[in-house]
């Protein structure tokens, strides 16, 4: 099997190179993202392997189909970046449904703790022997209410972590899990009651911009909002408006709706044209990271292992357990 591996970073090769050899697959590591312009690099390949910011639309599906590409191997759980409906009956789309939910939940907790206790500011201050505490006061999380949106794998890990802090945990999910020891409430009630809101649902037509002006207005003053799911869950203009109105105690964004082309790249020598991103960076209570919630050794190894298992299943006509189909899109 030949695989065109887009958006390659040095750390991807650590696991994929040996696994490729083990399976006897030829992996073409391509540093470029997968775009209309770079699609021709997959010529002669049986599958393409892509990451979260490689967007495959219906037109690209047609090109891949004409090139006899059989599969799209996603190195991610989320699949909002592929037009799955257009791929139906043409190209198999396979994802890695779960690799380390703890990795993402622990990162969401890290963002919350950083924002709340200002450890990032303290680090910079003490290195210059500025030992003043002024402006670094946080709040106890113990006894406060955490609102978890989406109680799937990552949401459940976040519920465990927040429970460990002694927080009262409430949750919203259109498909509640009766086995969880959590109080399910409506989304509106979650917005109104939570001191901390952490988003762990997929990006769908229903969830796009779930954090808009109306939602922000319902929230408590001083609320902490953490988004480690997908950027477009949050309406950025409304978020900036809320920040200017001093609504938030802190906002942690591991994802951003216009992250494509910026996140995962070193843009330190470039003029950033995205004014919203530049504006967000100016708020002292906003922490932006480059879509790295997943980035642990355990998660990277699991992503590589399952991606290659998916390729093997596709290559050998085995049951495709991780196929993303029309049903998943409807959900």
Report which residue's Cβ sits closest to ligand NAD.
152
Crossing angle for the helix pair 297-316 and 10-23, to the nearest 10 degrees:
40
291 tagged catalytic: yes
Distance (Å, rounded) from C-alpha 299 to C-alpha 42? 26
Give the shortest CB-279-to-ligand NAD separation in angstroms.
Answer: 22
Choice between 41 and 292, CB closer to ligand NAD: 292
Answer left, alpha or beta for residue 24, where phi above 0 means left and psi between -120 and 50 means alpha. left
Q: Which of 95, 153, 200, 291 is catalytic?
A: 291
Give the shortest CB-199-to-ligand NAD separation in angstroms.
Answer: 8
Choice between 110 and 141, CB closer to ligand NAD: 110
Pairs from 134-140 (Cβ < 8 Å, separation ≥ 24):
139/195, 139/222, 139/249
Give the shortest CB-278-to-ligand NAD separation in angstroms.
Answer: 22
Choice between 139 and 177, CB closer to ligand NAD: 177
Q: Which of 75, 153, 230, 235 is catalytic?
A: 230
Question: Which residue ranges make up the site for ligand NAD (CB under 6 A)?
Answer: 77-78, 98, 101, 104, 149-155, 172-175, 200-204, 206-207, 228-230, 254-255, 291, 293-294
Contact of 210 with 198, CB cutoff 8 Å:
no
Give the shortest CB-110-to-ligand NAD separation in angstroms.
Answer: 12
Residue 217, C-beta contacts closer than 8 angstroms, at least 6 positions apart: none
Distance (Å, rounded) from C-alpha 48 to C-alpha 93? 10
Choice between 229 and 234, CB closer to ligand NAD: 229
| Exposure of 200 in the CB half-sphere (CA atoms within 13 A) | 31
Catalytically active residues, by annotation: 230, 259, 291
């Amino acid at each position: 099997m030949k695989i065109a591996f887009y958006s390659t970073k040095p750390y991807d090769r650590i696991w994929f190179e040996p696994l490729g050899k083990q399976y006897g697959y030829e992996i073409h590591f391509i540093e470029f993202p997968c775009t209309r312009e770079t699609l021709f690099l997959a010529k002669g390949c049986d599958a393409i392997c892509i990451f979260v910011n490689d967007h495959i639309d219906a037109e690209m599906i047609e090109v891949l189909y004409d090139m006899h590409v059989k599969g799209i191997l996603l190195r991610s759980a989320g699949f909002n970046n592929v037009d799955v409906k257009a791929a139906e009956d043409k190209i198999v789309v396979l994802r890695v449904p779960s690799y380390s939910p703890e990795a993402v939940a622990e990162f969401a907790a890290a963002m919350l703790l950083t924002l709340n206790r200002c450890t990032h500011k303290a680090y910079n201050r003490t290195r210059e022997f500025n030992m003043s505490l002024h402006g670094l006061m946080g709040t106890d999380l113990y006894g406060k209410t955490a609102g978890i949106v989406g109680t799937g794998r990552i949401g459940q890990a976040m519920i465990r972590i927040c429970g460990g802090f002694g927080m009262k945990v409430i949750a919203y999910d259109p498909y509640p899990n009766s086995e969880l020891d959590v109080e399910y409430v409506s989304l509106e009630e979650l917005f109104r009651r939570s001191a901390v809101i952490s988003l762990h649902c997929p990006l769908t037509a229903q969830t796009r911009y779930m954090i808009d002006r109306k939602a922000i207005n319902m929230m408590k003053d001083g609320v902490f909002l953490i988004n480690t799911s997908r950027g477009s869950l949050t309406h950025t203009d409304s978020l900036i408006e809320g920040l200017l109105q001093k609504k938030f105690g802190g906002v942690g964004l591991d994802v951003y709706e216009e992250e494509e082309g910026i996140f995962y790249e070193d843009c330190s020598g470039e003029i950033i044209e995205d004014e919203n991103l530049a504006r967000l960076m100016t708020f002292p209570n906003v922490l932006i990271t480059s879509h790295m919630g997943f980035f642990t050794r355990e998660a990277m190894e699991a992503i590589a292992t399952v991606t290659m298992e998916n390729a093997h299943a596709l290559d050998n006509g085995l049951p495709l357990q991780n196929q993303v189909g029309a049903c998943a899109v409807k959900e």
